Amino acid sequence: MPSILQYDVIIIGAGAAGLFCAIEAGKRRRKVLVIEHSDRVGKKIAISGGGRCNFTNLHTTPESFLSANPHFCKSALARYTPHDFITLVQKHKIAYHEKKLGQLFCNGSSQQIIDLLLNECSDAGVQIHCACRVVQIGKENEFQVQTSLGTFSSTALVIATGGLSIKPLGATDFGYQIAQQFGLKIETPRAGLVPMTLEPGLLKQLAPLSGMSVDSLVSHKKTSFRENILVTHRGLSGPAILQISSFWKGGESISIDLLPQSDAREILRNHESSTIELSSLLSRYLPKRFAHAWCDLKMKSKPMNQFSQREFESIASHLHDFQITPSGTEGFKKAEVTVGGVSTDELSSQTMETRKVPGLYFIGEVVDVTGHLGGFNFQWAWASAFAAGQSV
């Protein structure tokens, strides 16, 4: 019978959270093994930020995250901040820049962040096994992890398998399976930061606008985001749509303010006796093609002096509150993150250790903490990994 190799800590998943936790545990002289089912580490890091890795956000606050328990993330975020990770980036002499709204990107490529993590792992004595498939996990006094490369045991087991987002990169529900195996509650996972689809009739009307973006304020219930929306051949995308998608559920409508910096009523009032066409007037504030398509959809264009006051009110209302009910989303294939996951009720916010199973930890995207677009999910990966790495 082959021998079982003993470690202090086994981490399943060699993404941002898994590698960073391994580094912190290794610094504390723990014997650490990272298991990755893919043929290489950090596949999601590699494609992030358009290949430049939006590795954190300067404006990270607990309000930047969505969770069934909005207070859960506070402890970890306070203990490992964006400036802590920036210090590490500077240590490795990686040049970076702020793109907008506190979003920090590498000047070079995402590979620089992957190399940073691998170099730190090497310095901390961390072992990494890629193309290693977990067959079974058991626990008696210690955890036993049976894999395609042998059986390993440890006193601490960290699950950093990510969520279901970006399925083409090999995302699976393995982390949720482990949680269920140990009797932990899961908040139903759904696609987040994902393009939204529209029903065929509306899609046909908007089809000529595919590829066009408009600065908008997109709202769902009490949540709003002010950035561009993008019309696609399947529906709507762009930063504001991706943001609101994390809060949206099937059958609900969203509101789009197409003139967030203007008062549509005042614009119309100033031209109510003019012979200018409505579409031409709106083209001063919206892209011309968009203005014409919007008129075809909501209010047939004609000279302004031919509209009634009631029609003016309707036009203004629709410009500031363009109601759309998406037919769905493009799903986990296109989602940047997974909303939901292992319930925070099951975890210590200080250490990320499960309350029911001593020595079992969940970190990163597999947990029910989801950041807004713009580097927040990486910061959650670093912060939750740091918390667990100080405890294992």
Sign of CA dihedral 14, 17, 18, 23: positive
- Give the chain's end-to-end CA distance (angstroms, integer): 29
Supply the pLDDT for residue 2.
61
Q: Token pair 């709003």 is at which residue? A: 224
Stretch 128-143: mean pLDDT, rounded?
96
Contacts of 227 (CB under 8 A, 6+ apart): 215, 216, 218, 238, 239, 240, 243
**Could you give the domains of the chain?**
5-191+332-389 (3.50.50.60), 196-329 (2.40.30.10)
pLDDT at 208: 81
Phi, psi of 259 (to 5 degrees): -130, 65
| 73-131 confidence digits (pLDDT tens) | 999 999 999 999 999 999 999 999 999 899 999 999 999 999 999 999 999 999 999 99
Dihedrals phi, psi of 88, to nearest 5 degrees: -70, -40
The closest of 251, 249, 255, 256 to 192, measured between CA atoms, is: 249
Cβ neighbours for 198, distance < 8 A, ≥ 6 positions apart: 206, 234, 235, 236, 324, 326, 327
pLDDT digits (tens, 9 = 90+) for 327-380: 999 999 999 999 999 999 999 999 999 999 999 999 999 999 999 999 999 999
Chain position carrying tokens 């939204």? 196
Q: What is the DSSP-derived secondary structure letter of residue 327?
A: -
Q: What is the pLDDT of residue 297?
A: 85
Q: What percent of the chain has pLDDT over 70?
A: 99
Question: What is the rounded average pLDDT of the residues 206-227?
Answer: 93
Query: How crowded is residue 80: how many other Cβ atoms within 10 Å of its Cβ?
Result: 21
* pLDDT in the model for residue 335: 95
Tokens of 202: 């509306």
| Cα Rg of the chain (Å, integer) | 24
Q: In terms of C-beta distances under 8 Å and separation of at least 24 residues, what long-range contacts does 228-235 make, across chains too?
A: 229/256, 231/206, 231/290, 232/195, 233/207, 234/195, 234/197, 234/198, 234/203, 234/330, 235/195, 235/196, 235/197, 235/198, 235/203, 235/326, 235/327, 235/330
The two tokens of residue 280 are: 């031409």
Residues 6+ apart with CB under 8 A from 85: 55, 56, 379, 382
- Report the chain's mean pLDDT, rounded to a whole number: 96
Q: What percent of the chain is modeled with pLDDT above 90?
A: 92
Mean pLDDT to the nearest integer, 227-243 = 96
pLDDT at 138 over 80: yes
Q: Are 47 and 351 in contact (CB under 8 A)?
A: no
Asked if the model's pLDDT at residue 255 lies above 90, the reply is yes
Give CA–CA dist 146/152, Å, rounded: 6
Query: Nearest Cα to 62, choosing from 390, 369, 346?
Result: 369
Residue 3 clears pLDDT 80, i.e. is over it: no
Instruction: Convert the pLDDT of each residue in 297-311 to its tens digit.
Output: 889 999 999 999 999
pLDDT at 373: 96
Instruction: For residues 277 and 296, give the distance between their C-alpha atoms in angstroms, rounded to a whole number.
Output: 13
pLDDT for residue 10? 98
Amino acid (one-letter) located at 136: Q
The residues, ordered by sequence, that sit 6+ positions from 310 with a Cβ below 8 Å of its Cβ are none
C-beta of residue 106 within 8 angstroms of C-beta of residue 54: no
- CB hemisphere CA count around 306 (13 angstroms): 9
For range 28-42, the mean pLDDT: 97
- For residue 1, name the pLDDT band (cuts at 50, 70, 90): very low
